[in-house]
Every structure is written in structure tokens, then in C-alpha cells.
Structure 1
């Protein structure tokens, strides 16, 4: 995210330098006389069409507007520390213009373009046959690696077990890849199950099929988008595999301080590493022999997930299950 913002600001600075010779560095933008040049640079980068009512890349237009405000506040803080009232006033004027004028100059056209693109976009989902292929492939990999690890530890089988378990949970729950791959061990350890111990005599009121179904799954909650708490269901077979995964973490070389359930050895730029669900989804979709493996994505939109659920429910499928 930080790299993306810096790239966007860098592209903006290069573009405005082509338009206005008075701009040498980013804080030079925060003079009222340079405001029109800044708006023109944003419009050029976002690809405003000839009619001036749409953008080729509307998201870039809105994100640049937000970034310029954020940098403007940094600019104001900088000049306050330097006790330069004149430049502070200029930066505050630019921020005021961005708040009051950019909504008309940029945001309105960008938002209208986004809504228009959304109306015209088509959501292409994987076929039922391809999903069943991936489900069967994951189940076989999960069971095979789990059986090997029951006998003795093997680093390759341990890694493959984690990959299969990660994608199995994602496929069943249809959650965002970032949510599933960053499940914390403490969240997983707090899983709940439905049995006579947890709900008491109410469990005896269930029918035999209801009891069998309840005993197959456990539930735990994880951090979702915008810090929301979202539920995750896990089949008992996957649960056993996850327990085995945690059992051999030290043998696999995973740091004891790594908080992630799907943590792997090593660190990445100071942070602990974990399996990448998006990359694994692409690889496993290809390996399972799916006809349209490119349609499998781990970061689908909310609209696509709702569409997918309705599609499977209409075909008598309530989810991708283990059996």
C-alpha cells in the first residue's frame, strides 16, 4: 500500500513538472497559483476523455485527490515547525481548494465513471465442475499429507498440508484471501463446537442427522475488513490437519513468535511470513486440471461472492464440503 501511494505521487510529480516549470519538488504544488496545474496533472494521469465527463482510470483520480490532501496536511505541519506563516497559509489554501473544488473537477466524473463501469462489467465465475475438481484435489492432498505426518515429520509434506488446509478453508467459507492467510493462532484456538458439553440438553433435541452435521464442524472468528469480526467454519478433518500443522511448527523452522496459523519459516521485511492464498489458488487451480483455472481468484468482490453462493444454492450446493 505504501509503495503504491509513493508510486502514484511520483507519477503525479513527473506529470506536473511537464505542465508547470515552477514545480521542482512536491511541496511546491502547495501554492494557490499551482492548483490548476495539479488538477490538470491528475486528469492527465487518470486519462480524462475528450468530453471531460469520464476517466480511463477513475480510481487513480480519486486516490490522487486523497493523497494530495494527506500530503497537504504534512506540508502544513512542516511549515508550522519552521514557523513559516506564509507557506503554511498557502498550503492551507490548497487543502481548502482540494476539499471544495476537486469534488466537482475530479471526484464527480470519477465516481460516475466507476458506477458506469460497474453496470457494464460482467462477473465470470468458475464452473461447478471446476470447483468440484479443485475441492477433490485439495481433499486428496490434505488426507495424503496428513497420513504421512502421522508417521513422521517431513518438511515438504508439512508445507503441502498447510497449503491444502488454507485453500480448503477459503474455498468453503468464501472469504477474502488476506483474511484467511492471516488467521491468528489465538483466534483458531478459541474455536467453538456444538455438542452436549457446549449447549447442554438442547443438543439432545436435535435429530440424528442434525447431530451428525453439528459434530462435523467447528466455528471461530477472525479479523475481517475494517476490523470487523467475521466467522469461519472448519470441517473436523481440516481441524485435525491444522492441529498437526501447529504440532510440527518448531520442526519446520517457524519462529515461536510468529502469530499466524499458516506461518512459514523466515521473515519478510521485518514481519513474519505466511502462506499466500492468492498465489496458491492460482497454482492449485491449474494443477487440479480445471478447464478455466484463471477464473479462480482469492480476492473476488462481494458481488461475485453473493452471486456464487446463490448459484450453488440454486444447484443444490450449500458449499464445498468434505465427505
Structure 2
């Protein structure tokens, strides 16, 4: 990592932070700055970034800065992160982390695991800094702290936070969307997509384009039962450069498919999206015919309605380089859709919970269950056939007809 790259990455990250006491702490703390620069550089090329990557790094840095500030309130000699990463201060870190995430008034048990993960990186940063400086004292401090961290953090923080999380989850009533609500919403979206598409073809305007984009985005979230980010963050290039699945799956794979599987594979199209984490790179987004047709119309009218040429996203905002939010758009469509009984249950999380529940009606083989889990596949044929059959059955509200049957 060159000095110039480190400096540029750091400046870019800090410029995105809100200016407050926590940002000031990030700016003056050497180890947190080095950690920030390393994390930003690890994101790779700009075109490979996810839209929230910088935000995640920023939040990690701010969390570390908060830890230092809280520790300093308990012990004045904690000047910065370097002074905290010493074995004699490990107990102070543990008590501070617990006070930050297990406070009964505003419990945030997931914060304990986040703090631990960030601290584990900071230890490595301190070791790297010490090696570059040839400072054996700081290197020994980091190594001794790491020994304590490895020995005790899981027992004293992670396990306690996990037990609290389990208790909180047990107290929550986990509801799923009503099937009749999903059918009503699908009908409303499909009809509205047709009307919006007709209006866009007659008089292309930014307002009508955005209307169709929101409807199509919600259609895909509703059909795929995926995390909204995996749909909203689709890029124009993802759609335009997608493989010709019909051509790719010819030969032995096609011969092995049943008649219904071949029909489904020809009916469906698919785009690969980045998954929840950087490791999960194969998030398959199935495109039912109506959504594919709408996307093609949106793409053909982007320039006409004034979508910026620098906006890479399929569901782009007008006069911006960012995508539609997905969450707010789904809420907007839900508010406009008449006849819904429990609209608040229809969220991307609720939809994933719904598909996991109704899939139990089917007589799944072990491999088919694995395919479904990985949708929620390493092989596109399975995604275009087995999983798409389930999603289509759910989309049409006829899951009950498949009770105890195989797809």
C-alpha cells in the first residue's frame, strides 16, 4: 500500500463523515486512520464497490472512535487507540463494550460482536505499524493484548450478547405476509406497470419513468423474495451483459430437464447480482416476462427522460448517480395499493420468511432444499427451473395445490 493511495483513500473517507466529536476522534487517532485507509483500499476499484461500502467503513471507524471516547471517560490515560490496545487495559475495553451494547434502556447486543470484530482488525493494524517502525515494545503490547482477546472476548462479550439477542428474538412475534395481500399487491403492480409502460411509450417523462422503475423494482422484490439491496443495486451492465441462459444451458443439462423445467427455463430470464456480503457474489435475480419487458423499456428511454449517463444503476434516480431506495419505494406502492389487510407485514424480510414457511408444503428433496437455501445456486439451470417454479407458484397464490408434491 503506497503512501499516496493511503492518503487519498483516507481523505475520501473522512470527507464523507458528518463533522462531530466522533469524526474528530477518527481524524486524530493514528491507528483508526490506518485502519480506515486499509479498509477503503481493500474495496478495490471504484466500479467494483457496492453503494454502501464506504458507509460501512465509516461506521466501523466511528464505532472504534466511540469506544476510545467511552474508555477515556473511565480512565484519563487512554489518549488514543494505541494506548487502549495494551493487555492491562483489556478489562477496561470489556466493561466499556458491555456498557455500550447491554444497556437495558437501549440494548444493542449486536454491537458487541461488531466491536470485537473491529478490535481484532485494530490489533493487526498496531502490529503492522510496530513492525514498520521497528518498535518491539508496541509489537509486544499488541501480541499480548491479542492473546487476552483470543482467550476471553468470546466468553465475556460475544456469548453474553448472543444470549441477549436470543431472548429478544424469542419475545418478538414473527409474522408473515398474508397470501391474499401478496396476490392483491401483485395484481395492482402488474396492472400499474402496464399503464405506466403505455404512458412512457406515448410521452416519455422523468416522472413516468420513475413510476415504472419503482413498480418494476417492487415487482422483482415481490417475486424473488430477496433482500431489497440485491435488487435495487442491480447495474445496467449486469442486465446488458447477462449470459444467454437458453444458449448456455443447451446440451447435456437441457436433455436432463423435464418438459415443465424446459418450459420454465425458456420463460424465465435471470441477472446475477452481488449478494449480502462480498463473499456471496452469486445472488440470482429471476426476471419474470413482465419485469423483463419493463426493464427493456426503461433502458431504451433512459437518455430521453434525462437519466444521467454516469448513473450505473438499473433502477436509477433522476438527476443523481444513486439507485432508488427499494424500501421507501415499496412503502409508497403499499400505501397506494387498495384492499391490503396487513400491508406492514410486506417487507423484504417478511417475504423471505414467507417463502421459507410456504416451501414446507412441498415435497422437497435434499438437493432442492439446498437450492432454495442458496437462493434465499451455484448452477443457473437449477435457479431457472426448480426455484423459479416455486416462486411462480407462490406468485400466483397456488402453493396449496402442491401440498406433498414434488416440483
TM-score of the aligned structures, taking structure 1 as reference length: 0.81
The residue number in structure 2 matching 1:82 is 133
> How is 1:1-323 mapped onto 2 (pairs within 5 angstroms)?
1-47=56-102, 56-189=107-240, 190=242, 192=244, 216-225=267-276, 226-267=279-320, 272-289=321-338, 290-300=340-350, 303=353, 305-307=355-357, 309-310=359-360, 318-321=393-396
Counterpart-to-counterpart distance in 1, 2:249 and 2:192: 32
Q: In the alignment, is the contact (CA less than 8 A) between 1:47 and 1:56 conserved in 2?
A: yes
Q: In the alignment, is the contact (CA less than 8 A) between 2:224 and 2:286 conserved in 1?
A: yes
Counterpart-to-counterpart distance in 1, 2:393 and 2:230: 21
The C-alpha deviation readout for 1:114-133, integer Å capped at 9, x for no partner, is: 34444554321122232223
Moved more, 8-17 or 111-120: 111-120
Counterpart-to-counterpart distance in 1, 2:102 and 2:325: 33
Q: In the alignment, is the contact (CA less than 8 A) between 1:181 and 1:274 conserved in 2?
A: yes
In the alignment, structure 2 segments of 5+ residues that lack a partner are: 1-55, 364-390, 398-407
**Higher strand residue share:** 1
Q: In the alignment, is the contact (CA less than 8 A) between 1:173 and 1:232 conserved in 2?
A: yes
Q: For residue 218 of structure 1, report the CA deviation from its aligned partner.
A: 2.4
Counterpart-to-counterpart distance in 1, 2:193 and 2:268: 16
Mark the CA change 1:33 to 1:210 in structure 2 (over 3 Å): closer, same or farther: closer
Q: In the alignment, is the contact (CA less than 8 A) between 2:206 and 2:318 conserved in 1?
A: no
In the alignment, structure 1 segments of 5+ residues that lack a partner are: 50-54
Structure 2 residue matching 1:227: 3-state secondary structure: coil
Counterpart-to-counterpart distance in 1, 2:101 and 2:249: 56
Counterpart-to-counterpart distance in 2, 1:150 and 1:193: 28
Aligned residues: 307
Counterpart-to-counterpart distance in 1, 2:203 and 2:172: 50
Q: For residue 211 of structure 1, report the CA deviation from its aligned partner.
A: 8.1
Q: In the alignment, is the contact (CA less than 8 A) between 2:177 and 2:350 conserved in 1?
A: no
CA RMSD of aligned residues (A): 3.3
Q: In the alignment, is the contact (CA less than 8 A) between 2:97 and 2:115 conserved in 1?
A: yes
Counterpart-to-counterpart distance in 1, 2:143 and 2:258: 66
Structure 2 residue matching 1:232: 3-state secondary structure: strand
The C-alpha deviation readout for 1:251-278, integer Å capped at 9, x for no partner, is: 23333343322123444xxxx3111111
Q: In the alignment, is the contact (CA less than 8 A) between 2:197 and 2:212 conserved in 1?
A: yes
Moved more, 20-29 or 76-85: 76-85
Structure 2 residue matching 1:319: 3-state secondary structure: helix
Moved more, 66-75 or 218-227: 218-227
Structure 2 residue matching 1:274: 3-state secondary structure: coil
The C-alpha deviation readout for 1:148-201, integer Å capped at 9, x for no partner, is: 122231111111111111110110111111110112333323264669x9859x
Q: In the alignment, is the contact (CA less than 8 A) between 1:79 and 1:88 conserved in 2?
A: yes
Q: For residue 280 of structure 1, report the CA deviation from its aligned partner.
A: 0.9
